[in-house]
Structure 1
Amino acid sequence: MDNTNIFLNVVDSLSRYRRAEIIDESTSESLIESLYVDPLENDLILKSMMKKNTVLLIGRKGTGKSTIINRFQHEIRKTNDRISLYIDVNALFEQAKKTSFQTNLNSLGLSQRNLERLNLYIAFIEKVITEINAEIKKNIFNNPIINLFSTQGITKNKFDEELENLFKETIKPTFQNITDSQQIASKTKQSSKEDNLVTLDASLELKNPHLKTSIKAGESSEMLKSDEFTSILSRYFNIIKFMNDLKILLSKIPIKDVSICLDDVSEIDKDSLEIFIKFIVAPLNNLSDEYYKFKISLYPGRDYLPGIDRQKVKTFNLDYYELYSLNNSEKVEEQAIAYTERLLEKRFKYYFGEKFNIYSIFHIDKENTPKDLYKLLFQISANVPRILGKILEIALQKTNSLTTKINRKILQESARQHDKNDIEYILKKNESIEYKSYDESFEQFHLAKLLNLIIQKAIENKKHIGKSTSNIFKDFNANTAPSNYLYFPKQLEDIVKTLEFNFYISKFSEQKHRDGDDISVYVLNYGLCIDNNIIFDNGSNRKFRIERIFDFEKLIREWMNGSKKIICENCSAEFNIEEKGILQKYGCLTCKSKLIKIKSVISQIEHKKITESFKIPKNQFDILISLNSKSPQTATLLGSDLDRSYQSISQSTNKNSKLVKHKLIDRTTSKGKTHFRISNSGISFLKTGKI
C-alpha cells in the first residue's frame, strides 16, 4: 500500500463519526484498542468509565464522545460478569415519530396536542425497551466469555425464553386506573396563557438541528407538564418492575452490573428529553442498588438530567479548556497540544509502522519543528479529532497525493478551506434554509450579524495594534499583529455559546480583567482567521490577550439591544433586552402584566429578503453543502460526514425532497450502490440563492 492510501486510512480513522467501527481489513477485527488515545494521560477517562458509576461525556461534535464509549464497551466485552448496552437515542426517537400507536387513548379526555405527544412518548419508550432487549441478546449470546450455564442451571434457551416473556409483558399496553389521568386532562383544559416571561434561549439552531432558539411568548397552551406525562406513562410501562425482573434474570447468568450507553441524547427536543430521563434513566440509575449505570454523551448546554443527583455523577467536558483547566489552568494549551501529539503519533505509527518518521510526511526544519507542527495542528482543529482528520485530508489533496510534503502554509490553507466548506455556510447562507418559523430565521440573521461584527472588530484590532506605540505591541506591525482574541464577562457566555458550538470561536482561558473582574477569553476559528487575514497569535501571552482592545463586552451588548426588544402584550410597552431579569421577576413595569414576549428587531428590507427567498430544509441543505465540497458520495459517506444515520440521509434524498424535486442533486447507481452528486442547478442555488 502506498503512502497516500496509508495516509487516507489515518485521516479516515480520525474522521469517523458516531459508532463507526475502525476495522482491520485483513482480519475484520476492531482496531479500537490499538488506536484509542485517551484525552487524559494514563487513560483516566477510560478508567473512570470502567467504574460502576454514571459518567457524562460532554463535548461539541467530533470531540470523541462516541469513541470513548466504543473503547469502554470493547473493554467490558472482555469480562464475564458485566455487560454494556448501546442505545442511539435520537435514532429511536426519529423512528418513534413514524410509528402509529394503536391503543385507543381518547378515553383519557386529553387535547389533540397532548394525545399526539403521548402517542410519541409511548412509541419512543417502546422503541427504547425493544432496543434494550436486542442489545442484551447481542451482548450475551455473542460474547464467548460469558457462561450461560450458571450455578442455577439456566440454559441459553431458557434464558432467551424468560427474556422474551419479560419484554413482551413490559411493552404490552395495559393501561389501568385512568382516574388520575382524567383529572390531569381536566386540569389542563382550564389552563390559559402562560404567565412566565419568555426567555431567550441562546442555543440557536445552527449546525445541530435540535439546538434551537426558543421564543414561546405567552402562547395559548394546554400541554401537560413532564411529571403529568410521566404519571400517565407509568400506567402503560411498569419500569420499576421491569428493572427488578430484568436484574433477577441477568443475575442468573450471572451478570453483576449493566452499563447503558446513551448516544445522541442531546439531539432530541428538551420536552422529550425530560420525559425520557425522568421515566427511564433516573429510576434505573437511582433505584437499582448500583446495578444499572449510564454512560451518556451530551452536547454542551444540553446536559439536562432531571431527577439525577449530579454530585454522584462523574462528568468529563471534552472541549479542551474545560477538560484541561481542571488540573492546571496555566497549562491548558500545553496539555491540549500533548493530546494532539499522542493522538497522531499513535495513528501514524500503527498505519505506517513503528519506524514512521514525521519528517517523511511533514515539512520540518529549524523554523518549523515537530513541536511547532503539533501546536499548529492543535490550533487549526481546536483539539477536535474529527476536524483534524478533515483538515489533513484536504492537506493531502493540496500536496497532490504527497508528491510534496505538508508544510505550514498548506495546513493553514486547508484550515481555511475547511472553514469555507463546513462552517461558514451555517450562518452566511441562512436565508436559503427553511426553519420551523420565521422567528428562527430572524435569529440566524442576527447571529450572522454578530459574527460579522466580531470579525470586523478583529480586523480593526489588527490595524490598531500594528500602529500602536504601546510597549506590549512594539514587536508587531500592521502585517504581523495578532488579533484573534476576544473576551467578555462570564455571564455573557450563554449569548455566544452557539457560535462556540459551531466552532466559530473556542474558549481559551479564564482570567482576571485588568480591573479585577472575571472574564472568559475566546479565540476565533483558525480557518476563519486565515480567510479574513487575521493573524492567529502564536505566543499566548496572558497579559497580551487581556489588553482592552480585545474587550468585546460593549459590542455584544449593543448587538443584543439592537437585535431584540421586549414587548408587553397587554399594553404594548417596549423595553430594552437588558431589562429581561427585572421584567421576569416583576412583570411589565408599566401595567404589571406578565404577558411579555421577546421579539426580533428586523428591518423591512431584511424581512423581505428572508421571507421571499427560496429555501430548503436544513438537513437537505447540509447534504448539498457536503456534496458541493466532495462528489459523488453514497448515503453512508454523507452520513459519516454529517454525523447522521444512513436512514436519515435516505429520507432527505427521497423523491419528495426538495433536493430531488428541484433537481439540485443527481443520483446514479454503480455496483449496486446509489451515489449522489451536486447538480449544476445545485451549484447555482448555493451561489445565487435562486433556482
Structure 2
Amino acid sequence: MNLDKFSKIAESLRAYRRAELKDFESEIGSKPVEALYVDPLPGEAVLKSVLSSNTTFILGRKGTGKSTVFAKAQSVLREQKKVISAYIDVKSIYDVLNEVGIPDIELEKLGISVVTYRSHMLRKIMLGKVISDLLEETSKSCDKLTLLDRWSGKKKQYEDLKSSLADLGDRVKNAKLESHEIPILQKITNQLKNRAQSEKSHTNSQAIGLNASVSLEKASVGGNFENSLSDFDRTLDDKDTYQEYSDVVLRSFPFNEILDEIQTLLSESGMLRLVAFFDDFSELNFTDQRLFVDVILSPLNNSSNENVKLKIAAYPGRVYYGKIDPSKVDTIGLDFSDLYESNEVQEMERSALDYTKRLLSHRFTAFGENIEDYLELNTNNLDDIIKMMFRASFNVPRIMGHLLHILFLDRISKDQKINLTSIRLASKKYYENTISKYFDRLNRFALEPFENKLDRYNQSQLLKCIVEECRTVRRRIIEKEIGGNYFSNLGGNPQTSHFIVSPELEDVFASLESNFFLSRYKYTRDKSGSDVIVYALFLGLCESERMNWGYPEGREYRNYFVQRCFEFSRAIHQFLSSKQTIKCNSCGHCHPMEMKQSIELFKWKCPECMEGTCRIVNLSDDFQEEVEKLDREIMLEPVELEIIATLNYEDKKMRAGEISSLIDTTHQMVGRRTSKLQEMGLVNKERDNNDGKMKSEVTEQCKSTYFNN
C-alpha cells in the first residue's frame, strides 16, 4: 500500500474548489479534470446534457460534483472551438462583499437612511462585479481561442471590441448612486420607519420570524453579510416594492450595450454562442438570488437572441427562476434520488452503486493504484464495501473524500486494510466531529443575526424529534406492539433509519438535508395510495445514536419503508405547531398554523386586519434567553469559525490555499481572515522555513476557547 498516494486520493475528493485539482498535476498529469472526471450516469449523459445548446440548471447539494461537471464541460468546449465560454464563481464575489468601499454621500437631504443606502450599494456593487467578471472572462477566453486570426472586421476591429468590453466592465464595477434610484430608496426608507414604529407598538409579541418561503432553511446556507436578514430585505418581501426596486437596479446596467458587443463578438469571429457558467448560485440569500436572476441572468438569457446560454449550479429547493421560463430550460439533479429514481429501491441502489464503484475505482487508477489493494477482501467482498461507501456518503464525492481521509488515519497509516466496520466508524467520526459540531459551534460562537441562531436551533430540535420517533418505532417493533407478523423475523435490532412524510413537508427538511443529517431517498406511495417521500438518516448519525441503518433483505420487505409505523407526518406537524405561528406584520395578530393553507390561498393577507401580510414566525422565548447569555466578545464571523475549525481538525500548519480547498472559499479570503485572527491571538501565522510559504495554525488560546469543551 502506498500511503502517500492514498492520502492524495482522499484529498482530491475532499477539495471544494475545482482549481485545487491543479495541486495533483504531478501525479495525474497536466489536465487533472480530464484524468479524474467520472460522469454520474453511463454514457456521460450528465455531461452531454450540460453541453447541449439549452440553458441548464444543474442541482445538487454541496460536494455532489457540480463544479467538476462545469470544468469538464468547459474543457470539451475549448477543444471544439465553436463557442466562447466564461466561468464565474458567484460565491467568491460575495465572500469579499463586506470588504468593498462604499462612496460617502450626504443622505439626510435625500431622505434615505444609512441602512437603505448601504444595503442597496452593496448589492449594486456585487451585481456590477459579476457582470465585470463575466466580460473579463469572455475577453480572456477570446485570447485563448486566438480569435484575432479568424476576425472578419466588417463591423468592428478586434482590439476595439476588446477595449469596449473592458470599458463596459469598468463602468458597471464602479457603482454609484444614480438619480433614478433615489425615489425607490426613499420609499423603502419610509417603509422601514413604518415597520420600526409598528414593531415598537407590539413589544409584547413573543415571536421573531423568518420569511415563509424558506421556512427552516436560511441559517446554514445563506449569504455571508451581516444584513442578510435585515429589515431592508424584509421590505423587499413585498412583491410590488421588490418589482419596482429590481426594475430600477436593472436600469443601472447597460445591458443593451453589453448584449450588442457580445453579438458583435460572435458574428465577427464566426462563433456559435457565448456559454456562461455561474457556480455557487445558491450561496446567495433569497433576496440576492432574486436580484441576481432578475438583473443579470434573465436579460442574458431572454434578450440575447439565443447568442448567450447559461449553465447555472444551484442547491435543490433553492432555485429562483424569475423571468426565465423553467419549461424552456434543462434541469439536472445530481443527488442520487434524482439521478437514479426508480419504482424499486433496490433498482435505485444498483444504479447508485454503479457510480460509487466507477468513481472510486477510476480515482485510484488515475493515481496509479488499485482500490482492491487497500480493502480487506478476505472477510468482505468488493460489492459489500462499495455498498457501505454509498450508504455512508449518500454518493457525495466530497463526503467519500472525508471518509477516506479518516480511514487513512485509522487504518491505512497503520498498515491495516479497510473493512465494513471501519467504514461505519469513519462515518460516525465524520458525523460527530464535523457535521454535528459545526452546527453547535455556529450557534455558540457565530457573529450573525439572531434569526439564524433560532432557525438552526429549531433544526436541531426537529432532528431530535425525528430521532426520538425512530427510537420509539424501534422499541414498539421489538415489543411487538406494531406490525404483527411482518416484523417477527427482524431480531432485536430492527432497521429504523428511514421514514416517510407527505410531500408538503419537503421544505421543512431542506436545511437538514443540505447539511447531510438526512437525505431524500425516493418518492413512493403509502399503503393508502397517497404520495409520500422516503427520507433516510445519515449513516454516521445512526451509528452515533446506535440505530440500525437500512432495510431487511428479501422480496417480502420491498415495501418496508411504507409501513404505517414509519409515517412521521403527524409527529412533524405537532412539532412545527409547537415551534411556529403565523403573524401579521401590520396588526401583529398571531394565527394558528392550522390556518396556513387558507391564509396562503389569499396570498398571505391577514384575515384580521385585511391590510398586513402574514408570515410564518418561529417562537423563541426560551432560546432567546440562552442566546442573551452568550459571550459576544468571543464571537467570530462564520467563515472565521470555519477557518479555525479546519486548522484545529487538521492539526497542522496550513497554507491559505489548503484551508480554502476544505471550506469552499478563496485563498485570498482565507489570507485576509487569518491575518485578522492572528491579531486576535487565535492564529499563529508565519513563513515556513522549509518551503518559504506562509502557513497558519491555531493557538492554545484558540483551542481552549472554541474546542476544548
TM-score by length of 1: 0.88
The equivalent position to 1:644 in structure 2, one of 642, 665, 670, is: 665
Which residue of structure 1 lines up, in the alignment, with residue 31 of structure 2? 30
Which residue in 1 is equivalent to 2:152? Answer: 152
> 2: distance between equivalents of 1:161 and 1:385?
45
Question: Alpha-carbon deviation of 1:596?
Answer: 4.8
Q: Which amino acid aligns with 1:380?
A: A
Instruction: Find out whether 1:343 has 2:359 as its counterpart.
Output: yes
Q: Which moved more, 1:236-245 or 1:501-510?
A: 236-245
Aligned to 2:206: none
Query: How far apart are 1:126 and its partner, in Å?
Result: 3.0
Q: 2:499 aligns with which of 477, 486, 491?
A: 486
CA distance in 1, matches of 2:218, 2:224: 5
- Match in the other structure for 1:285: 301
Q: Deviation of residue 379 (structure 1)?
A: 0.3
1:134 alignment partner, SS class? helix
State which of 637, 641, 654 in structure 2 corresponds to 1:617: 637
- For 1:415 and 1:177, the matched residues in 2 are separated by 51
Q: CA deviation at 1:326?
A: 7.0
Is 453-462 or 518-527 further displaced after alignment?
453-462
- Counterpart among 406, 431, 440 of residue 394 in structure 1: 406
Report the Cα distance in structure 2 between the residues aligned to 1:395 and 1:654, rounded to whole angstroms: 33
- One-letter code aligned to 1:556: I
Amino acid at match of 1:474: S
Aligned match of 2:649 in 606, 617, 629? 629
- The number of aligned residues is 676
**Equivalent position to 1:550, from 556, 559, 566:** 566
Change (3 A) 1:583 1:80: closer
Q: After TM superposition, give the deviation of residue 622 of structure 1 in Å.
A: 2.1
Deviation at 1:400, TM superposition (A): 4.5
- Tell me the CA shift for residue 206 of structure 1: 4.6
Q: Given that residues 129 and 171 in structure 1 are in contact (C-alpha distance below 8 angstroms), is that contact kept between their aligned partners in structure 2?
A: no
- 8 Å CA contact 2:94, 2:224 repeated in 1: no
CA contact (8 A) 1:197 1:594 kept: no
Determine helix, strand or coil for the equivalent of 1:22. helix
Does residue 498 (structure 1) correspond to residue 511 (structure 2)? The answer is yes
Question: Structure 2: which amino acid aligns with 1:390?
Answer: H
Using the alignment, how far apart are the partners of 1:389 and 1:244 within structure 2? 45
Shift of 1:248: 0.8
Change (3 A) 1:283 1:222: closer
Change (3 A) 1:539 1:339: farther
Alpha-carbon distance, 1:38 to partner: 0.6
Could you tell me which runs of 5 or more consecutive residues in structure 1 were left unpaired when the two chains were aligned: none
Following superposition of structure 1 onto structure 2, how do residues 578-597 of structure 1 map, counting pairs within 5 Å? 578-584=594-600, 585=602, 587=605, 592=610, 594=612, 596=614
| Structure with greater helix percent | 2
CA distance in 2: counterparts of 1:26 and 1:408, whole angstroms = 29
> Does the 8 Å contact 1:465/1:477 carry over to 2?
no
Distance in 2, Cα, partners of 1:589 & 1:235 = 37
How many Å separate the matches in 2 of 1:439 and 1:587? 23
Match of 1:375 among 382, 387, 402: 387
Number of the residue aligned with 2:144:
142
SS in structure 1 opposite 2:79? coil
Q: Percent identity?
A: 25
Residue among 437, 444, 468 paired with 2:449: 437
Q: For residues 364 and 204 of structure 1, do their structure 2 counterparts lie closer, same or farther at Cα, with a shift above 3 Å needed?
A: same
CA distance in 1, matches of 2:121, 2:177: 18
Alignment partner, residue 77 of structure 2: 76
How big is the shift at 1:86?
0.5
Aligned to 1:453: 465
Verify the 8 A CA contact 1:19 1:66 in the aligned structure 2.
Answer: yes
Q: Mean Cα displacement is larger for which, 64-73 or 664-673?
A: 664-673
Question: Could you tell me which residue of structure 1 aligns to residue 685 of structure 2?
Answer: 667
Structure 2-normalised TM-score? 0.86
| Deviation string, structure 1 residues 627-665 (Cα, Å, up to 9, x no partner) | 23212232222211111111222343333x4x852x444
Whether the 8 Å contact between 1:85 and 1:139 is mirrored in structure 2 is yes
Maintained 8 Å contact 2:219/2:453: no
Structure 2 counterpart of 1:495, one-letter code: V
What residue in structure 1 maps to residue 541 of structure 2?
A: 528
- Secondary structure of the residue that 1:511 maps to in structure 2? strand
Structure 2: unaligned runs, 5 residues or longer:
199-208
SS of 2:317 mapped into structure 1: coil
Of the candidates 472, 491, 497, which is equivalent to residue 477 of structure 1? 491
Quote how far apart the aligned CAs of 1:243 are: 0.9
The whole-number CA distance in structure 2 between the counterparts of 1:122 and 1:482 is 52
The answer to whether the 8 Å contact 1:105/1:115 transfers is no
Distance 1:163-1:218 versus aligned 2 partners, 3 A rule: closer
Find the counterpart in structure 1 of residue 129 from structure 2: 127
Once the two structures are superposed, residues 437-493 of structure 1 have per-residue CA deviations (whole angstroms, 9 ceiling, x without a partner) of 323322222221121222223233333333328322222222x32111121111011
Amino acid at match of 1:127: K
Deviations 1:188-239 (A, max 9, x none): 5665559999626224345434399969799778999444344434544221
The secondary structure found in structure 2 opposite 1:401 is helix
Q: What corresponds to 2:618 in structure 1?
A: 600
Given residue 81 of structure 1, which amino acid in structure 2 is its aligned partner?
A: K
Cα drift, residue 69 of structure 1: 0.1
What's the offset of the Cα at 1:369? 1.7
Tell me the CA shift for residue 567 of structure 1: 4.4
What letter is aligned with 1:88? D
Separation of aligned partners in 2, 1:172 and 1:103: 19
Task: Judge which range, 547-556 or 323-332, deviates more.
Answer: 323-332
Higher alpha-carbon deviation: 63-72 or 322-331: 322-331
For residue 465 of structure 1, what is the aligned residue in structure 2?
A: 477
Question: Given that residues 518 and 537 in structure 2 are in contact (C-alpha distance below 8 angstroms), is that contact kept between their aligned partners in structure 1?
Answer: yes
| In structure 1, distance between residues paired with 2:272 and 2:9 | 38
Structure 2 counterpart of 1:43? 44
| Cα distance in 1 between the residues matched to 2:575 and 2:649 | 33
Output the CA distance in 2 between the equivalents of 1:50 and 1:227.
Answer: 33
Distance 2:607 2:175 in 1: 48
Q: 1:225-304 counterparts in 2 under 5 A?
A: 225-304=241-320
Alignment of 1:669-684 (within 5 A): 669-670=687-688, 671-684=691-704
Give how far 1:565 is off: 2.8
How far residue 498 of structure 1 moved from its aligned partner, in angstroms, is 0.6
